[in-house]
Amino acid sequence: MVEKFDVLVVGAGFAGLSAAIYCARFNLKTLIVGNVWGGLIITTHVVENYPGYKSLSGYDLMQKFKEHVEYYNIPFWEDQIESIEKKREGKFFAKTMEGKEIEAKTLILATGTTRKNLNVPGEKEFENRGVSYCATCDAFLFKGKDVVVVGGSDSAAKEALLLSEHAKSVTVLVRSSFHPEPINGTRIAQRKNIKVLIGVEVKEIAGKEKVEKVILKNGKELIVQGVFIEVGHNPQTELAQGLGVNINEKKEIPIDRYSRTSTEGVFAAGDCVDTEWKQGIVSAAEGAHAANSVYNYLNEKGLLVKRNGK
Amino acid sequence: MVEKFDVLVVGAGFAGLSAAIYCARFNLKTLIVGNVWGGLIITTHVVENYPGYKSLSGYDLMQKFKEHVEYYNIPFWEDQIESIEKKREGKFFAKTMEGKEIEAKTLILATGTTRKNLNVPGEKEFENRGVSYCATCDAFLFKGKDVVVVGGSDSAAKEALLLSEHAKSVTVLVRSSFHPEPINGTRIAQRKNIKVLIGVEVKEIAGKEKVEKVILKNGKELIVQGVFIEVGHNPQTELAQGLGVNINEKKEIPIDRYSRTSTEGVFAAGDCVDTEWKQGIVSAAEGAHAANSVYNYLNEKGLLVKRNGK
């Protein structure tokens, strides 16, 4: 049986949940489909830059978003969209991995990103045996150990800061430029057990049962028990590509200020779009804009059904 | 004595406070100057559309923002900017009403809006004697009374909803189109003591000591004790105009997706800009973008001084 909605929101992070809240406030029949409540941010140890929340974990912040969504009784399917087709103006047809079928008048793609791999020998072999992609999840396993963080972004800096509270030493391995948020750069400079090496590249992760060392391209070896990889993200835009939505050279979805894509009826928000600077607050605003644009679109096309809401 | 800053944030609502939080995180020497902590939203009874906060008063939400700002020890001057001049690239000079002098490398204008007047006979005379611009402030004074709300926006709808909890009857007087957020439109339809009249205009507010009636242009009279005026807002962009920043026909400041104005070193965010749809979450994101753009600008121009922050 095909279930019908005014709008299908794909993704349940900052952008998707904010979009869903606003869609519900517009009395639109809304469905959220996502792998996981909250998106990637739930693995972040401390969030201090969502205005209005001074400091809390990514998980706790997303619990607040979840409560907000649940207040409007918006259905959430913990599932994944396998395919979407545009049948005609105002009619999209989607299938989920679990085999459910959805018809929706509009789409909001808030599909976020996936973490990039380093693609060096040893990375796969030692995953969960010293190689990790999430300091929040695994930092406590490295109490008193020596670890490296690979990457030069603010996310890498935050991983290093968290790890330095557990590990004996943290070495940040940066290929070209180290560019944390200044506040985190300062914190790193003040942390005695963090060292930053710039202009180095990992050649191999080696060991027997577990990680024992990292071999750099310059031939040096670092004796470590943990390798945290934070080398960026890939936008998840396969669904958009399948729909024929324009994509830029970074595989992001270009949007305008009102979260409209190149395809009528398809809106996008959050880390999968071409906004230069990715932030939770920015994603939430893009989600809100997407909802408003959906509402305007349905109005213009005469596709809006009046319903009584909460 | 002239006090020097990297960035002067003018305004202390969603946009200004969010901008200040981000500026502080960029380790910029930041000053906020504003009439009042929180901006216009603090007079709003219930805010249910700032993602992450299900339902709270505008005042309480802005207290959260205030705590967040105070966490970074950002100075806030409860004062008003009288004039700003651009001396040269990276050097603005501002004076406050209280006679303080400020030098800043960049500006973030988050000056918001002021409420529009109805401009009819009786409006001025009966202000605070039946005429009000703030249901949150004054609704309880009208317990058991008959009142009108003038305006067709979502703000007018929210005023009517709040008033209906106190007043005996609420009549919404709408000149042309009534366009609340659908969720509020539904709520109004369900509230028995709210009536909406569309296509009517107020000619005069009349009475002796206090408001006694509203006279419409069609000749009809409504016997009421309260008149709540919610007929829109004027962007406060005199400072921007004085600086030669481009302004559109609505007197708003056009910005790009990164909160840049037409003038180098001047950034703008929130209700004073040309974003079509004004929302707290959108203003907060624009403020964050403005801070990031300030940081990038100072970097590009070689105007950034490295400082140790929190």
Which residue on chain B is closest to A67 by alpha carbon?
A: B54
Q: What pLDDT sits at residue B137?
A: 81
Which residue on chain B is closest to A190 by alpha carbon?
A: B308
pLDDT above 80: residue B257: yes
Q: What pLDDT sits at residue A46?
A: 87
pLDDT above 70: residue A106: yes
Best of B282, B293, B298, B300 to disrupt the A interface by mutation (most A CBs within 10 Å)? B282
Do residues A6 and A109 both lie within one domain? Answer: yes
Which residue on chain A is closest to B20 by alpha carbon?
A: A51
Question: Band of the pLDDT at A309, cuts 50, 70, 90?
Answer: very low
Do residues B223 and B239 both lie within one domain? Answer: no
Q: What pLDDT sits at residue A310?
A: 40
Q: What is the 8-class DSSP label of residue B208?
A: S
pTM: 0.89
Spatial CB neighbours of B145, under 8 Å, sequence gap ≥ 6: B167, B168, B224, B225, B226
State the residue for tokens 């969030």. A47
Whether A8 is in a domain gets the answer yes
Other C-beta atoms lying within 10 Å of the C-beta of residue B269? 34
Do residues A31 and A179 both lie within one domain? Answer: no
Instruction: List the CATH number of the domain containing A172.
Output: 3.50.50.60
Output the DSSP codes for A63-122.
HHHHHHHHTTT--EEES-EEEEEEEETTEEEEEETT--EEEEEEEEE---EEEPP---TT
Question: Band of the pLDDT at B44, cuts 50, 70, 90?
Answer: confident
Q: Name the residue facing B21 among A24, A51, A186 (closest C-beta).
A: A51
Contact B281 A18 (CB under 8 A): yes
Contacts of A284 in chain B (CB under 8 A): 51-52, 281, 285
Cβ atoms of residues A62 and A37 within 8 Å: yes
CA distance B141 to chain A (A): 28
Contacts of A277 in chain B (CB under 8 A): 258, 289, 292
Do residues B219 and B288 both lie within one domain? Answer: no
Q: What pLDDT sits at residue B306?
A: 62
pLDDT above 80: residue A8: yes
pLDDT above 70: residue A261: yes
Nearest alpha-carbon partner for A106 in A294, A300, A303, A261: A294
Whether A307 is in a domain gets the answer no
Q: Name the residue facing A53 among B27, B52, B281 (closest C-beta).
A: B52
Q: What is the tens place of the pLDDT at every residue in A36-63?
A: 999 989 988 889 999 999 999 999 999 9
Whether B131 is in a domain gets the answer yes
Do residues B221 and B259 both lie within one domain? Answer: no
**Range A141-153 average pLDDT:** 96
Whether A123 is in a domain gets the answer yes
Contact B183 A310 (CB under 8 A): yes
Whether B306 is in a domain gets the answer no
Final residue of a domain: which of A200, A229, A258?
A229
C-alpha atoms less than 13 angstroms from C-alpha of A178 in its C-beta half-sphere: 22
Q: What is the 8-class DSSP label of residue A273?
A: B
Q: Name the residue facing B282 among A65, A189, A288 (closest C-beta).
A: A288
Which residue on chain A is closest to B24 by alpha carbon?
A: A183
Contact B51 A181 (CB under 8 A): no
Strand B30-34 and strand B169-174: the pairing is: unpaired
**Range A174-190 average pLDDT:** 94
Best of A184, A282, A296 to disrupt the B interface by mutation (most B CBs within 10 Å)? A282
ipTM: 0.88
Q: What pLDDT sits at residue A136?
A: 81
Final residue of a domain: which of B229, B256, B281?
B229
Whether A308 is in a domain gets the answer no
Q: What is the tens place of the pLDDT at every residue in B90-148?
A: 999 999 999 999 999 999 999 999 999 999 999 999 998 999 998 888 888 999 999 99
**Range B249-255 average pLDDT:** 97
Cβ atoms of residues B233 and B152 within 8 Å: no
Do residues B134 and B148 both lie within one domain? Answer: yes
Do residues A110 and A241 both lie within one domain? Answer: yes
Do residues B143 and B287 both lie within one domain? Answer: no
pLDDT above 50: residue A140: yes
**Identity of residue A30:** T
Do residues A56 and A132 both lie within one domain? Answer: no
How many domains does the structure of chain A reveal?
2
Cβ atoms of residues A33 and A80 within 8 Å: yes
The burial class, CB within 10 Å (0-12 / 13-18 / 19+), for B290 is buried
Question: Band of the pLDDT at B299, cuts 50, 70, 90?
Answer: confident
Q: What pLDDT sits at residue A226?
A: 97
CA distance B52 to chain A (A): 5
Q: What is the tens place of the pLDDT at every residue in A65-105?
A: 999 999 999 999 999 999 999 999 999 999 999 999 999 99
Final residue of a domain: which of A211, A229, A247?
A229
Contacts of B26 in chain A (CB under 8 A): 181-183
Strand B2-10 and strand B30-34: the pairing is: parallel
Q: What pLDDT sits at residue A168?
A: 97
**Identity of residue A166:** H
Q: What pLDDT sits at residue A1?
A: 87
Contact B27 A55 (CB under 8 A): no
Do residues A48 and A6 both lie within one domain? Answer: yes
Q: What pLDDT sits at residue B307?
A: 57
Nearest alpha-carbon partner for B34 in B57, B4, B14: B14
Contact B51 A17 (CB under 8 A): yes
Q: Which residue range is the domain that position B223 belongs to? A: 117-229
Q: What pLDDT sits at residue B266?
A: 98
CA distance B128 to chain A (A): 33
pLDDT above 70: residue A308: no
Which residue on chain B is closest to A257 by alpha carbon?
A: B257
Contact A282 B288 (CB under 8 A): yes
**Range A120-141 average pLDDT:** 91
Contacts of A18 in chain B (CB under 8 A): 51, 281
Percent of chain B surpassing pLDDT 70: 98
Q: What is the tens place of the pLDDT at every residue in B211-226?
A: 999 999 999 999 999 9
Give me the helix-helix angle, B182-190 and A14-25, nearest 10°: 30
**Range A202-212 average pLDDT:** 97
Do residues A98 and A244 both lie within one domain? Answer: yes
d(CA B183, CA B180): 8
Whether A24 is in a domain gets the answer yes
Question: Band of the pLDDT at B310, cuts 50, 70, 90?
Answer: very low
Average of per-residue pLDDT values in chain A: 95
Nearest alpha-carbon partner for A19 in A300, A297, A292: A292
pLDDT above 70: residue A306: no
Do residues B90 and B46 both lie within one domain? Answer: yes
CA distance B63 to chain A (A): 8
Which residue on chain B is closest to A308 by alpha carbon?
A: B186
Using DSSP's 3-state secondary structure scheme, residue B182 falls into helix
Length of chain B: 310
Whether A239 is in a domain gets the answer yes
Q: What pLDDT sits at residue B288?
A: 97
